[in-house]
Amino acid sequence: MQINTPFFKQRASEALHDENLQKALGNLKAGFPEKRAIAVSRMPEFEDLRDQARDLKNHIIEHLDLYLEQFESKVTENGGHVHWARTSDDANKIILDICKQVNAKTVTKGKSMVSEETGLNDYLEKNGIQPVETDLGEYILQLREDHPSHIIAPAIHLNLEDVSEAFHKNHNRPKSDDPAVLMQEAREVLREKFVAADVGITGANFCVAETGSTIIITNEGNGDLTQTLPKTHIVITSIEKVVPTLEDMTLFQRLLARSATGQEFTVYNTLSSGPRREGDQDGPENFHVVLVDNGRSEMVGSEFQDMLRCIRCSACMNHCPVYGAVGGHSYGWVYPGPMGSVLTPKMIGIEKGGMLPNASTFCGKCESVCPVRIPLPKLMRHWRQDEFSKHLQPKAARYGLAGWAFLAKRPALYKTYTRMANWFMKHWAGKKGRIEKMPLAGGWTDWRDMPAPQGKTFMQAWKEQQKNGGSH
Amino acid sequence: MPNSPSQTTSARVGLFVTCLADMFRPSVAFATVKLLEQAGCNVEVPEQQTCCGQPAFNSGDNDTSRDIARQTIDAFDGYEYVVGPSGSCIGMLHYYPELFEESDPYHVRALELKSRSFEITSFLFDVIGMEALQEQLNKLQFNQKVTYHDSCSGLRQLGVKQQPRELLSQVQGVELEEMEEAETCCGFGGTFCVKYPEISNRMVSNKTENISNSGATTLLGGDLGCLLNMAGKLKREGKTIEARHVVEILADMTDIPAIGEADYDLAKAL
């Protein structure tokens, strides 16, 4: 996927002026956060579960090698294959090879953000294999040659009219703007694809070490058809998704559904434990799991280790006022919102991704709703430290900061400077009590007035008052 | 564990002025002093303080943050409490321990500063206690419909939510009308508002819409950064809602023009 992250500011500006997008984002704001709040209020032990989940994830990350090896040996025991992919390219090649081995022409796909990360669709298409997205949102995006703007509601940026248009153009049927009709249409078109597919590719929400199982947690059931009907099922997922036991998995299931959509339980929770066994009614003949690293193992032991706890619930972006204002595409790559602002610089480099960890007020809302208590603002701050030490921030910001720091470390000089600035601003404002325009303050005054100072600094006024006998 | 009033009476309190109160609205710092003195504290203003260091900390400049942290720790050495009219700045003081290795003597001193530094409404309500304040607060009159913006650091880092509301509930005439999304960021975010002005503008516009819809005539808050941002936007939009720091109500200093209102000369007022 093309990296547009360096253009965050321009894209955000366009997004703010895009009426359709703003309408769609308005729906998001009213949807997920409210449903989550209700679900959480019905579960008194929710906060305790968050602690447990944080601790368990920390334990897993500390013993990642152990659990991954256990998972691999169980998958193998069950008759499946595990493939290790250090990079996105490695993952794509492995999947293409498997597809070639079974002479695949078409593959169906369940929703997978890791496959977005590796750019799998483009890669398969370039190599003569047609992937068909079967998650409704992803399917709509594929028709529009678009990309997800949200990790669980990929087409959240679109409105009904967009969908109606895309279906009309691609399905050769009369145009409809009835959601039920459109849904039925997608169902009919996709049914044929499910049956025809040679390979089904899904992601995995978790990989269970004790049983060698992967699980997909969805609301549409498309993933089930994707992985059950074709002869070959390939799971593409990342190394931090492993959990020790089935019971451990249930802890995350409880948190995930509530944090993501506010459901008590997601509709489909489907485990895959290897290929079809003798006597099984259905299931694939071949079962492959591709475990993608793509920079994650480097995060173990680094200041970004906490990010590996992420279970991709999307609560951080659903509650983020910046995401809510500009939408997911502004972030310019696969992962948007606060979790994306931490992950993206890791995956595309801080030189290209530096805009994102800066585009936060550090309001802390994301951390307050994260089911595994990732300190997202702190991790964004780590990126800013990295940028600062590499002199990557814009010159004006660096010099401004250095000038301010020089003063702030010299209290006497600082007092003189603030007295002068105070006097200047007071006189610039005149009688109005506020400033509507001021040199070098356009970032502020282009959008709002600047309340004027009261004429003296506190330190100045306090000193004078103390001299005059201290009455106040 | 909150201390009893008898323990805090005549406590020596160092006022952390905060750079925004120092620069833009000294009356907020004077109101804080007044409230602390009414609560029986001996208030001093250490000369060696400047800013909490948050601009450096949030820009990734940890060396400067550490220098300023040391300066602040030294300046407030020996005070029983450190109190300031901002959840954000006091919140920054609470980050100081992260800046020092555990072997650094400043690490322990930073932890110790953290344990005795409070945002003003939290200090009044959690440390001094309502019993000692009630009589004074009950004498006050402020006949306005007010709405309260919960500033992010105060709310999520320090747990300031009920304290200002409880204190305000003791003032005669105050009618609290909660706005929608009172806990959502106003878009100030320190340098964020000038680095990403368009996004910040959208956030503060959402905020002023919620403020207007609440029907309140006065906006209150506990952080001048947010208040300057919201007051500036309300003014630009031509709205008549006034913005004040909550301590101005609690210290009976509402004769001073609200934030961004017509000329006020502190020099003459003193």
Tokens at residue A170, please? 């691609």
- Per CB-CB distance under 8 Å, the chain B contacts of A409 are 50, 64, 67-68, 71
- The verdict on A224 touching B (C-beta cutoff 8 Å) is no
- Per CB-CB distance under 8 Å, the chain A contacts of B23 are 418, 421-422, 453, 457
Listed as ranges, residues in chain B with pLDDT below 70 are 1-9, 263-264, 267-270
Q: State pTM to two decimals.
A: 0.95
Strand, helix or coil at B113? helix
Q: How far is A352 from chain B (nearest CA, A)?
A: 17
Tokens at residue A55, please? 């601790």
User: Are residues A381 and B229, on separate chains, in Cβ contact within 8 Å?
Assistant: no
Tokens at residue A63, please? 């013993």
- Per CB-CB distance under 8 Å, the chain A contacts of B231 are 449, 451
Residue A272's DSSP bridge partners are A214
Q: Which positions ≥6 away from A415 have C-beta within 8 Å?
A: A457, A459, A460
Give the other-Cβ count within 10 Å of B22's Cβ: 29
Residue B148's DSSP bridge partners are B220
Report chain B's terminal Cα–Cα distance, integer Å: 38
Distance CA A88, CA B107 (A): 42
The closest alpha carbon to B259, from A397, A425, A452, belongs to: A452
Distance CA B216, CA B148 (A): 9
Distance CA B53, CA B67 (A): 9
Domain residue ranges of chain B, discontinuous segments joined by +: 5-122, 131-269
- Report pLDDT digits (tens) over B206-221: 999 999 999 999 999 9
Sheet holding A213-218, edge to edge: A242-243, A206-208, A213-218, A268-272
Distance CA A246, CA A241 (A): 13
Q: Which of residues 442-461 of A touch B (CB under 8 A)?
A: 443-444, 446-459, 461
pLDDT at position B267 is 64
The closest alpha carbon to A334, from A313, A353, A309, belongs to: A353
Helix A136-143 / helix A160-171 crossing angle, nearest 10 deg:
70
- The verdict on A409 touching B (C-beta cutoff 8 Å) is yes
What is the third-level CATH fold of B131-269? Rossmann fold (3.40.50)
| Residue of B57, B202, B266 with shortest CB distance to A456 | B266
- The verdict on A385 touching B (C-beta cutoff 8 Å) is yes
User: Are residues B58 and A362, on separate chains, in Cβ contact within 8 Å?
Assistant: yes
Say if residues A371 and A256 touch (Cβ distance below 8 Å).
yes
Q: How far is A179 from chain B (nearest CA, A)?
A: 30
Which one of B25, B89, B152 makes the best mutation probe of the A interface by having the most chain A beta carbons within 10 Å?
B152
Task: State ipTM.
Answer: 0.95
> For residue A442, what is the nearest residue in chain B, using CA coordinates?
B194
Distance CA B167, CA B124 (A): 8
The closest alpha carbon to B207, from B119, B121, B148, belongs to: B148
User: Are residues A447 and B19, on separate chains, in Cβ contact within 8 Å?
Assistant: no
- Per CB-CB distance under 8 Å, the chain B contacts of A22 are none
- Report pLDDT digits (tens) over B12-52: 999 999 999 999 999 999 999 999 999 999 999 999 999 99
Distance CA A316, CA A323 (A): 9
- The verdict on A405 touching B (C-beta cutoff 8 Å) is yes
pLDDT at position A470 is 59
> For residue B68, what is the nearest residue in chain A, using CA coordinates?
A409
> For residue B72, what is the nearest residue in chain A, using CA coordinates?
A409
CATH class label, A64-164+193-298: alpha beta
Backbone phi, psi, residue A392, to 5°: -90, -15
User: Are residues B235 and A434, on separate chains, in Cβ contact within 8 Å?
Assistant: yes
- Per CB-CB distance under 8 Å, the chain A contacts of B236 are 436, 447-449
Q: Which of residues 32-91 of B touch A (CB under 8 A)?
A: 33-34, 45, 47-51, 53, 55-62, 64, 67-68, 71
Per-residue pLDDT in tens (0 to 9) along chain A, 472 residues: 899 999 999 999 999 999 999 998 988 877 999 999 999 999 999 999 999 999 999 999 999 999 999 999 999 999 999 999 999 999 999 999 999 999 999 999 999 999 999 999 999 999 999 999 999 999 999 999 999 999 999 999 999 999 999 999 999 999 999 999 999 999 999 999 999 999 999 999 999 999 999 999 999 999 999 999 999 999 999 999 999 999 999 999 999 999 999 999 999 999 999 999 999 999 999 999 999 999 999 999 999 999 999 999 999 999 999 999 999 999 999 999 999 999 999 999 999 999 999 999 999 999 999 999 999 999 999 999 999 999 999 998 999 999 999 999 999 999 999 999 999 999 999 888 899 998 888 889 999 999 999 989 999 999 999 998 755 4
Sheet holding B81-84, edge to edge: B42-44, B12-15, B81-84, B117-119
Q: How far is A119 from chain B (nearest CA, A)?
A: 30
Q: Which of residues 87-146 of B touch A (CB under 8 A)?
A: none
Q: Does domain B5-122 have CATH number 3.40.50?
A: yes
pLDDT at position B6 is 45
- Per CB-CB distance under 8 Å, the chain A contacts of B62 are 385
pLDDT at position A441 is 86
User: Are residues B187 and A321, on separate chains, in Cβ contact within 8 Å?
Assistant: yes
Helix H or strand E encompassing A383: helix A376-389
Q: How far is B254 from chain A (nearest CA, A)?
A: 15
Amino acid at B241: I
Say if residues A110 and A226 touch (Cβ distance below 8 Å).
yes
> For residue B27, what is the nearest residue in chain A, using CA coordinates?
A458
User: Are residues A434 and B232, on separate chains, in Cβ contact within 8 Å?
Assistant: yes
User: Are residues B55 and A401, on separate chains, in Cβ contact within 8 Å?
Assistant: yes
User: Are residues B198 and A407, on separate chains, in Cβ contact within 8 Å?
Assistant: no
Q: Which of residues 298-317 of A touch B (CB under 8 A)?
A: none
Domain residue ranges of chain A, discontinuous segments joined by +: 1-42+320-393, 64-164+193-298, 410-467
Burial tier of A419 (Cβ tally within 10 Å: 0-12, 13-18, 19+):
middle
- Per CB-CB distance under 8 Å, the chain B contacts of A434 are 232, 235, 260
Strand, helix or coil at A272? strand
Helix H or strand E encompassing A232: strand A232-238
- Per CB-CB distance under 8 Å, the chain B contacts of A17 are none
Say if residues B90 and B53 touch (Cβ distance below 8 Å).
no
pLDDT at position A288 is 98
**Torsion-angle region of A202 (φ positive above 0: left; ψ -120 to 50: alpha; else: beta):** beta
Answer positive or negative: Cα dihedral of A281, A284, A288, A292: negative
Q: How far is B62 from chain A (nearest CA, A)?
A: 7
- Per CB-CB distance under 8 Å, the chain B contacts of A325 are 199, 202-203, 206
- The verdict on A30 touching B (C-beta cutoff 8 Å) is no
| Chain length of chain A | 472
Answer positive or negative: Cα dihedral of B10, B14, B18, B23: positive
**Comparing B5-122 with B131-269, is the CATH topology the same?**
yes
